[in-house]
């Protein structure tokens, strides 16, 4: 994440990529899991988009590695087909109008494929041979990025094999021009506090922390990165960004999709593990960290670590789990979770979770943070809603404090990306009567949309060696520490009321009590997109 002074006012706002952004230096990228969905639908399209904007190094190699026997040409063709399938599909990962065949053929000229079994040492010898030969052919100077787009059970094994094969050795001093070797590790990073610690120990036995890029794709979203710009690029928000002025915060990550054929994975994971210690906590951190002393990776990561360390360990009373039954989502009849393929008929796995968090630091003591995430919700909608304290006194006749709507600052993460502020104005007329209105910033009104799958910045950052948006070992461990007690309790006690929310509803009733127990008038915001120009 490169910090740049770019002050777009409307005229030049459509130029999203500041001209000073340079392509990374020479490097080779190896993707483990070349045949997987992540590679086809997100990683390679993101690299292609980078190539299209001139942000792929001139000296570049991309090797796909996987168990399937196939030729490099076959791999390239399947990648091209996936890109083609995006054209004209409004629901596709990438909104491209056409493939720029010049860019593609230049990009594809740098692609190769190595077949093998990731648990077999012989594979790493074959990979080494191919890598070294392409490195000398393309002059990538020994800079290597290994992307582990594979099931998490392979993470430790692959890193160990890479170490044994001498593929990730960096000189201790990491002099500016010394070749670098980096490893990107996808989620989930562990399944528990203990397994995350164990994985850290295992990989840190081979790699240095500066070589490890633990990725969370939520940080690739523009709207998530924007939270730092909003908070620290403006003088007006920070003075009110604390327990003195904020009543509470609600973070919602609602999805309309169900488990989408991932029953096997989901039965082992559940909504809490899948979404909370990673994606939801990243959103939480962006709104709550202290101002960093500079826009340097370690300065920001230190603040994030401190924030996670200040979150009180959750207990069962702060958490509610839910599982969807049959219902209607977006006008379509859908089945309940227990009827999904590869799901047990009496499954106790949660597809929804709501929690109340406390952050024990000077800024946030006493401010509750309510978070929720679920599948088969009424609307796909992720937002961070900050509710400010009410005016201290009802100054106008006939208005009681209880009936005055609160001020909300809502950061809309997706879709309909933007920010809105709700406040009171005088309703036109002779009497002094108040009405809530909204000021709305929409990304699409100010910036031209560009093809983007959300991995471009993250991949670019890996290539330039910027770890700002990646998780450090201590951060990941703290996030698991926060949720571990709840995970243990839930594993030990089968819920008697599952399924407890209908598909298409906003979640189980018990989740409402997390808020109303704190304050009788407090409730979740609607899981709905804002109406343009109207009242909420």
Give CA–CA dist 47/226, Å, rounded.
22
120 is in an annotated binding site: no
Among 66, 135, 247, 274, binds ligand BG6 (CB under 6 A): 274
B/e letters for 348-365, b = 16+ CB within 10 Å, e = fewer, are bbbbbbbbbbbbeeebbe
CB nearer ligand BG6, residue 373 or residue 422: 373
**Shortest distance in whole angstroms from residue 217 CB to ligand BG6:** 6
Query: Do the annotations mark residue 117 as ligand-binding?
Result: yes
| Helical residues (DSSP H) of 249-317, grouped into ranges | 263-275, 281-288, 297-310
Q: Which is nearer to ligand BG6, 414 or 536 (CB)?
A: 414
Pairing of strands 352-357, 319-322: antiparallel
Could you give the string, one character per residue 384-423, with x where binding to ligand BG6 holds by CB under 6 A and - elsewhere? Answer: ----------------------------------------
**How many CA atoms are closer than 13 Å to the CA of 346, on its beta-carbon side?**
3
Distance CA 472, CA 427 (A): 51
Q: Which residues contact residue 92 at a Cβ distance below 8 angstroms, ignoring those fewer than 6 apart? A: 85, 86
In this structure, which long-range contacts are made by residues 291-299, counting pairs with CB atoms below 8 Å and at least 24 apart in sequence? 291/231, 291/232, 291/238, 292/232, 295/3, 295/468, 296/468, 297/466, 297/467, 297/468, 298/467
- Is 274 annotated to bind a ligand? Reply is yes
DSSP H or E segment with residue 65: strand 60-66
Active-site annotation holder among 110, 161, 279, 376: 279
- Tally of residues, the chain: 536
**Which parts of 424-453 interact with ligand BG6 (CB under 6 A)?**
none
Choose between 262 and 303: whose C-beta lies nearer to ligand BG6. 262
Does residue 135 touch ligand BG6 according to CB under 6 A?
A: no
Q: Could you write out the DSSP letters of every residue in 114-147? A: EE--TT-HHHHHHHHHHHHHHHHHHT-TT-EEEE
For residue 145, report the phi and psi dihedrals to the nearest 5 degrees. -120, 120
- In the list 255, 340, 350, 417, the residue contacting ligand BG6 (rule: CB under 6 A) is 255
Q: Mark 492-521 with x for binding to ligand BG6 (rule: CB under 6 A) and - for no binding.
A: ------------------------------
Q: Which residue is nearest to ligand BG6 (CB)?
A: 274
Q: How far apart are the first and last CA of the chain?
A: 34
Q: How far is the CB of 19 from ligand BG6 (least distance, A)?
A: 29
Residue count at the site for ligand BG6 (CB under 6 A)? Answer: 4
At its nearest, how many Å lie between ligand BG6 and the CB of residue 468? 19
If the CB atoms of residues 255 and 466 are measured against ligand BG6, the closer one turns out to be 255
Assign 520 to helix, strand or coil: coil
Q: Could you say which residues in the range 351-380 bind ligand BG6, by CB under 6 A? A: none
Q: In terms of CB distance, is 217 or 301 closer to ligand BG6?
A: 217
CA 518 – CA 371 distance, rounded (Å):
14
In degrees and rounded to multiples of 5, residue 455 shows phi and psi of -105, -5
CB of 372 to ligand BG6, least distance (A): 14
Within 15-44, which residues bind ligand BG6 (CB under 6 A)? none
Site residues for ligand BG6, 202-241, by CB under 6 A, read 217
Residue 277 phi/psi, 5-degree rounding, is -65, -10
Active site (annotated) includes residue 138: no
76 known member of a binding site: no
CB of 455 to ligand BG6, least distance (A): 10
Tell me whether residue 135 or residue 274 sits nearer to ligand BG6 (CB atom): 274
Nearer to ligand BG6, 167 or 413 (CB): 413
Query: Is 255 assigned to a binding site?
Result: yes
Applying the rule CB under 6 A, the residues between 153 and 212 that interact with ligand BG6 are: 187
Structure tokens at 117: 């079994």
Name 102's Cβ contacts closer than 8 Å, sequence gap at least 6: none
Nearer to ligand BG6, 187 or 304 (CB): 187
Peptide bond into 47 cis (omega under 30): no
342 labeled binding residue = no
Nearest approach, Cβ of 528 to ligand BG6 (angstroms)?
17
Distance of alpha carbon 325 from alpha carbon 505, whole angstroms? 10
Shortest reach from residue 343's CB to ligand BG6, in Å: 14
Pairing mode of beta strands 501-503, 324-329: parallel
Whether the CB-CB separation of 261 and 337 falls below 8 Å is answered with no
Residue set of the binding site for substrate: 217, 221, 255, 274, 375
Catalytic residues: 279
Residue set of the binding site: 117-118, 187, 217, 221, 255, 274, 375
Binding region for ligand BG6 (CB under 6 A) = 187, 217, 255, 274
Residue set of the binding site for NADP(+): 117-118, 187
């Amino acid at each position: 994440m490169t910090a740049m002074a770019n002050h777009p006012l409307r005229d030049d706002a459509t130029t999203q990529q500041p001209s000073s952004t340079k392509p990374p230096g020479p490097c080779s990228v190896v993707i483990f899991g070349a045949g997987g969905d992540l590679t086809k639908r997100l990683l390679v399209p993101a690299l292609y988009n980078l190539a299209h904007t001139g942000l792929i190094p001139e000296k570049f190699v991309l090797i796909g590695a996987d168990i399937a026997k196939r030729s490099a040409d076959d791999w390239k063709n399947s990648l091209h087909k996936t890109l083609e399938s995006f054209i004209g599909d409004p629901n596709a990962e990438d909104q491209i109008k056409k493939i720029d065949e010049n860019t593609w053929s230049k990009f594809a000229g740098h692609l190769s494929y190595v077949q093998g079994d990731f648990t077999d040492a012989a594979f790493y010898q074959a990979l080494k041979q191919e890598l070294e030969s392409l490195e000398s052919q393309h002059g990538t100077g020994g800079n290597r990025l290994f992307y582990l787009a594979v099931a998490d059970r392979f993470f430790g094994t692959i890193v160990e094999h890479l170490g044994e094969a001498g593929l990730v050795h960096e000189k201790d001093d990491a002099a500016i021009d010394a070749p670098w070797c980096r490893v990107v590790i996808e989620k989930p990073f562990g399944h528990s506090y203990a397994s995350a610690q164990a994985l850290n120990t295992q990989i840190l036995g081979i790699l240095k922390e500066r070589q490890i890029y633990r990725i969370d794709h939520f940080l690739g979203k523009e709207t998530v990165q924007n939270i730092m710009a909003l908070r620290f690029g403006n003088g007006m928000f920070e003075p009110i960004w604390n327990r003195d002025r904020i009543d509470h915060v609600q973070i919602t990550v609602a999805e309309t999709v169900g488990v989408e054929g991932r029953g096997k994975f989901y039965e082992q994971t559940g909504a809490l593990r899948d979404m909370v210690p990673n994606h939801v906590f990243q959103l939480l951190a962006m709104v709550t960290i202290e101002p960093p002393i500079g826009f340097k990776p370690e300065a920001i990561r230190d603040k994030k670590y401190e924030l996670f360390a200040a979150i009180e360990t959750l207990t069962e009373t702060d958490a509610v789990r839910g599982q969807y039954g049959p219902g209607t989502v977006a006008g379509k009849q859908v089945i309940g979770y227990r009827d999904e393929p590869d799901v047990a008929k009496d499954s106790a796995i949660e597809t929804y979770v709501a929690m109340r968090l406390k952050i024990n630091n000077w800024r946030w003591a006493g401010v509750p943070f309510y978070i929720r995430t679920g599948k088969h919700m009424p609307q796909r909608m992720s937002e961070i809603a900050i509710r400010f304290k009410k005016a201290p006194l009802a100054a106008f006749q006939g208005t009681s404090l209880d009936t005055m709507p609160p001020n909300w600052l809502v950061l809309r993460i997706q879709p309909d990306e933007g920010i809105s502020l709700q406040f009171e104005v005088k309703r036109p007329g002779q009497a002094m009567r108040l009405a809530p209105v909204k000021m709305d910033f929409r990304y699409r009104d100010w910036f031209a949309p560009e093809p983007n799958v959300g991995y471009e910045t993250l991949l670019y950052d890996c290539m330039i060696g910027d770890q700002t948006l990646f998780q450090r070992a201590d951060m990941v461990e703290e996030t698991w520490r926060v949720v571990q007690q709840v995970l243990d309790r839930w594993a030990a006690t089968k819920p008697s009321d599952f399924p407890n929310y209908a598909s298409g509803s906003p979640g189980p009733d018990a989740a409402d009590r997390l808020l109303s127990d704190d304050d009788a008038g407090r409730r979740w915001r609607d899981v709905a997109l804002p109406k343009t120009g109207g009242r909420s």
